[in-house]
């Protein structure tokens, strides 16, 4: 038995529909009546999101080695930036300390921007984050980004282990303002400065998957990054709220939207669909299996359950196919999301396949290092 795939809504920019399974040529609720602008020479700026995924049988060190490979290849191919997420107590994700990982990878690259996508600010003191990213900015000037989110990035038990107060997210706007003051001046707390940090002007981005982040980013005059690669529901509404309410700032006179999207690119349509099918099955196994050892039949049943289908819907915005298929999808997705930049989460079941997917994507998007 094959489980159902994430269902496309509206357009499907590929040639044929597929049978009910996890993969598709391109998924996502992109209405058919949206027109894509005339073809441009490039989809740039195009960026990558790296979770430092730990595949079955690997250790975190293997994930870090792969992250270095990703960054070095992405730099050669002309991607704009790579961001690293903050997650805790997850066996499949090694990116629990973005600042440390960024320092490691920045030392092994030379031009590509590196950043947190993002630091979950309620888990940390703003001064500490300012010092960490101020240090990175002094070591690698002009290359460091700082995306800020208010989600915990973990479960309730781990929150207690992090010594986070349950109400910490409520002060997120004030924490962002405090952090901004440490990096740009003036400090919100007289007599307290971030050293390093003050004067580095590390670029800040507000991350979100709801209207709250959109409203905050608009109010502060900061760029907004929407997590549509795993929380697609409010994408268009949140972006519209952000653009409609944007208050220009000195550093950002115009709104700037980054929208995240999943990509599985391969040399043939069949290869891409099979890779995405494996990714979907692994995602459901990890998120809904709760650590149990499942047979393939049990996994099929789990995928077909409401919980499994909800997990698959998280991958609603996914481009799966050859380079041409992926490019067409990304062009239409960028229009749909009113995005200035796309942040790609590569969805491949192995290191080799992810690196090849990156190559195909860069070629299809007409990227080149000279564009950076």
What does the pLDDT read at residue 168? Answer: 84
Band of residue 27 on the pLDDT scale cut at 50, 70, 90: low
Task: Give every CB contact of residue 70 below 8 A, 6+ residues apart in sequence.
Answer: 48, 50, 82, 354, 355, 358
For residue 41, name the pLDDT band (cuts at 50, 70, 90).
low
Domains in the chain (CATH in brackets) are: 46-262+318-365 (3.20.20.30)
57 CB-near residues (< 8 Å, 6+ apart): none
Helix (H, G, I), strand (E, B) or coil at 242: helix
DSSP 50: E
- Residue 287 near residue 314, CB atoms below 8 Å: no
Q: Which residues contact 242 (CB under 8 A, 6 or more apart)?
A: 214, 215, 217, 218, 224, 255, 257
Q: Residue 370 has what pLDDT?
A: 56
For residues 221 and 125, give the distance between their C-alpha atoms in angstroms, rounded to a whole number: 22
> Which residues, at least 6 apart from 245, have a Cβ–Cβ distance to it below 8 Å?
214, 215, 218, 219
Note the pLDDT of residue 151.
82
- Determine which of 45-54, 127-136, 167-176, 342-351 has the lowest per-residue pLDDT on average: 167-176
Residue 23: the pLDDT is 43
Instruction: Write down the pTM of the prediction.
Output: 0.89
197 vs 25, higher pLDDT: 197
């Amino acid at each position: 038995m094959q489980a159902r795939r994430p269902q496309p809504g509206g357009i499907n920019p590929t040639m044929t529909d597929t049978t009910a399974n996890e993969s598709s040529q391109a998924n996502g609720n992109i209405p058919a009546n949206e027109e894509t602008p005339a073809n441009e020479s490039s989809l740039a700026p195009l960026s990558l999101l790296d979770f430092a995924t730990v595949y079955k049988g690997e250790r975190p060190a293997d994930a870090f080695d792969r992250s270095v490979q990703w960054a070095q290849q992405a730099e050669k191919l002309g991607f704009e930036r790579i961001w690293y997420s903050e997650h805790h107590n997850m066996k499949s994700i090694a990116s629990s300390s973005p600042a440390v990982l960024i320092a490691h990878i920045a030392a092994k690259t030379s031009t590509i921007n590196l950043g947190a996508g993002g630091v979950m600010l309620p888990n940390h003191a703003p001064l500490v984050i300012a010092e960490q990213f101020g240090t990175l900015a002094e070591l690698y000037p002009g290359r460091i980004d700082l995306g800020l989110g208010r989600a915990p990035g973990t479960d309730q038990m781990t929150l207690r282990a992090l010594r986070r107060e349950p109400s910490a997210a409520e002060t997120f706007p004030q924490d962002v303002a405090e952090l901004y003051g440490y990096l740009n001046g003036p400090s919100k707390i007289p007599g307290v400065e971030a050293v390093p940090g003050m004067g580095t002007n590390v670029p800040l981005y507000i991350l979100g998957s709801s209207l709250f982040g959109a409203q905050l980013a608009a109010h502060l005059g900061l760029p907004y990054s929407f997590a549509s690669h795993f929380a697609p529901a409010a994408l268009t509404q949140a972006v519209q709220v952000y653009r409609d309410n944007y208050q220009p700032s000195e550093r950002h006179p115009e709104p700037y939207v980054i929208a995240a999207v999943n990509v599985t690119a391969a040399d043939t349509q069949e290869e891409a669909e099979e890779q995405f099918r494996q990714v979907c099955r692994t995602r459901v196994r990890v998120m809904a299996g709760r650590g149990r050892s499942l047979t393939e039949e049990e996994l099929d049943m789990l995928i077909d359950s409401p919980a499994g289908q909800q997990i698959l819907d998280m991958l609603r915005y996914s481009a799966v196919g050859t380079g041409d298929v992926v490019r067409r999808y990304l062009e239409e997705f960028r229009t749909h999301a009113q995005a200035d930049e796309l942040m790609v989460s590569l969805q491949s079941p192995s290191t080799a396949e992810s690196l090849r997917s990156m190559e195909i994507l860069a070629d299809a998007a007409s990227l080149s290092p000279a564009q950076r």
